[in-house]
Amino acid sequence: MPARPDQLITVGDCDLHVRRQGRGKPLLYLHGTEGLTGIAPGLGALARTFDLIAPDHPGYGLSGDAAAVDTMSDLAMFYLDVLDQMGLEQVHVVGHSMGGWLALEIAVRNSHRLASLTLVDSAGIHVQGVDKGDLFICTPEEGLALMNHDLEAARVRHQAMVAEADPRMVYRNRVTTAKLCWQPRLFNPSLARWLHRVRLPTLLLWGENDQVLPPAYGEALSRAIAGSRLLTVPSCGHMLPFEQPDRFSGEVTTFIRSLAS
C-alpha cells in the first residue's frame, strides 16, 4: 500500500522528513515528546482510511533543524508554512501530548486549512492545583512507569525501540523536547486565553490513568473549546496511541467519519 512512504520536503531552511501513506482525507499526525519511533501500529491502521501525513518535527528523527524554531509558537508558524507549501486543504489534525499542544497553537493562529482536531493526552495549558508528571527528572525505567499504565507492555515496546533506534537520535529528540517544553513545563501561559478561537470539531482522547497530564487537563480543555467532546479511555496512561493503538485509530476514524455526515 505505501506508494510514497517517506518524503523529504524543504520548508525554509529545514529538510522535513514526512511519512506519507494511504489514500483518503488528509490526516496530519503531530507526534509527542518521544518522536515518532515505535508509533507504527496505530498509524498504520489510520493509513488504511486516510492520507496519513506524519512528519518528524524539526530537531527530531530524520528531519533537520529549523533555525527559526525555538518555541512551540515558532513551531506552529513553521507548520502553517508546511500546510501552505503542501497545499493541503480540509486537514484532520491529530496531536499527541506535545503534538496536541502544537495542534492548538496552529488552530488559534489560522485554521483555514483545517477540518478537525483530535487531541490525545494533550499538553498546552496549565491547570492550577493539578501537578503534571516530570518527564525529565525520572530515570528511563521511572519514565516508563510514569507514562504508561501497563508497565510490562511498555518495557517490551521500549526494548524494541532501544534495539532499533540510534542513541544519538534519541538524545537529539530529548534535547528538542527540552527546548520546546522545559519551561514553562509543557504549556504556553498565553494559549489558554485564546482557545475560544478554536472553532473546529474537536475530540479529546484521554488515558484515564494519565499521570503526566491527568484527566483534569482533558476536562479543562473540553470546557475551553466550545463543542468539544472528551472521551476517557480506561486502563490507559499518557501514551494512548502506543498503549491502545486499536482504540486510538478506531476512535479517530469514527470521529472523522461522523463529521462527513
Partner 1 sequence: MKVFMFHLMPYLYMDLEYKSKWRSPWVVMPNSEYDPVKGHELYNRFLDELEYAAELGLDGVAVNEHHQTAYGLMPSPVVTASALSRRIKKARIAILGNAFGLREHPLTLAEEHAMIDSITGGRLITGMVRGIGAEYHSMGANPALSHDRFHEAHDLVIQAWTRPGPFSFHGKYFNLEYVNPWPRPFQKPHPPIWCPSTGSAETIEWAAHPDRKYVYLQNYSPVKSVARFLNGYREVAQTRYGYEASSEQIGWAAPVYVGPTDEQARDQARVHIESLFNKFLNLTFEMMFPPGYLSFDSAVRMATHKKQIMGSQTVESLIEQGVIICGSPDTVRRTLTDAHRFLGFQSFLALLQFGTLPRDLTEQNIRLFSTEVAPALQALTDREYMGFEDSMKAMAA
Q: Which residues contact 186 (CB under 8 A, 6 or more apart)?
A: 98, 101, 123, 124, 132, 212, 213
User: Quick check: bond before 215 cis, omega within 30?
Assistant: no
CB of 136 to partner 1, least distance (A): 6
CB of 65 to partner 1, least distance (A): 12
Asked whether 179 and 33 are in contact (CB, 8 A), the reply is no
Is 177 among the residues that bind partner 1 (CB under 8 A)?
A: yes
In terms of CB distance, is 84 or 142 closer to partner 1? Answer: 142
Helix (H) or strand (E) holding 77: helix 72-86
In terms of CB distance, is 8 or 178 closer to partner 1? Answer: 178
Is 109 among the residues that bind partner 1 (CB under 8 A)?
A: no
Is 179 among the residues that bind partner 1 (CB under 8 A)?
A: yes
CB of 230 to partner 1, least distance (A): 30
Is 67 among the residues that bind partner 1 (CB under 8 A)?
A: no
d(CA 100, CA 253): 17
Is 174 among the residues that bind partner 1 (CB under 8 A)?
A: yes
Region label for 153, one of left (φ > 0), alpha (ψ between -120 and 50) or beta (otherwise) = alpha
d(CA 132, CA 123): 10
d(CA 109, CA 175): 26
Stretch that binds partner 1, among 39-47, 177-185, 191-199, 253-261 (CB under 8 A): 177-185
Is 131 among the residues that bind partner 1 (CB under 8 A)?
A: no
Binding partner 1 (rule: CB under 8 A), the pick from 7, 136, 254, 257 is 136
Joined together, the cell numbers standing for residue 228 give: 468539544
**21-60 mask for partner 1 (x: CB under 8 A)?**
----------------------------------------
Stretch that binds partner 1, among 90-98, 134-142, 148-156, 227-235 (CB under 8 A): 134-142
Asked whether 46 and 247 are in contact (CB, 8 A), the reply is no
d(CA 142, CA 133): 11
d(CA 214, CA 122): 10
| DSSP-assigned beta bridge partners for residue 206 | 232
Is 188 among the residues that bind partner 1 (CB under 8 A)?
A: no
Binding partner 1 (rule: CB under 8 A), the pick from 1, 137, 163, 260 is 137
Stretch that binds partner 1, among 75-83, 93-101, 119-127, 133-141 (CB under 8 A): 133-141
Nearest Cα neighbor of 119 from 102, 148, 94 is: 94
Binding partner 1 (rule: CB under 8 A), the pick from 10, 175, 234, 258 is 175
Quickly tell me which residue has 527540552 as its cell.
Answer: 178
Stretch that binds partner 1, among 24-32, 135-143, 147-155, 186-194 (CB under 8 A): 135-143
Give contact residues for partner 1 (rule: CB under 8 A).
70, 136-139, 167-168, 171-172, 174-179, 182-185
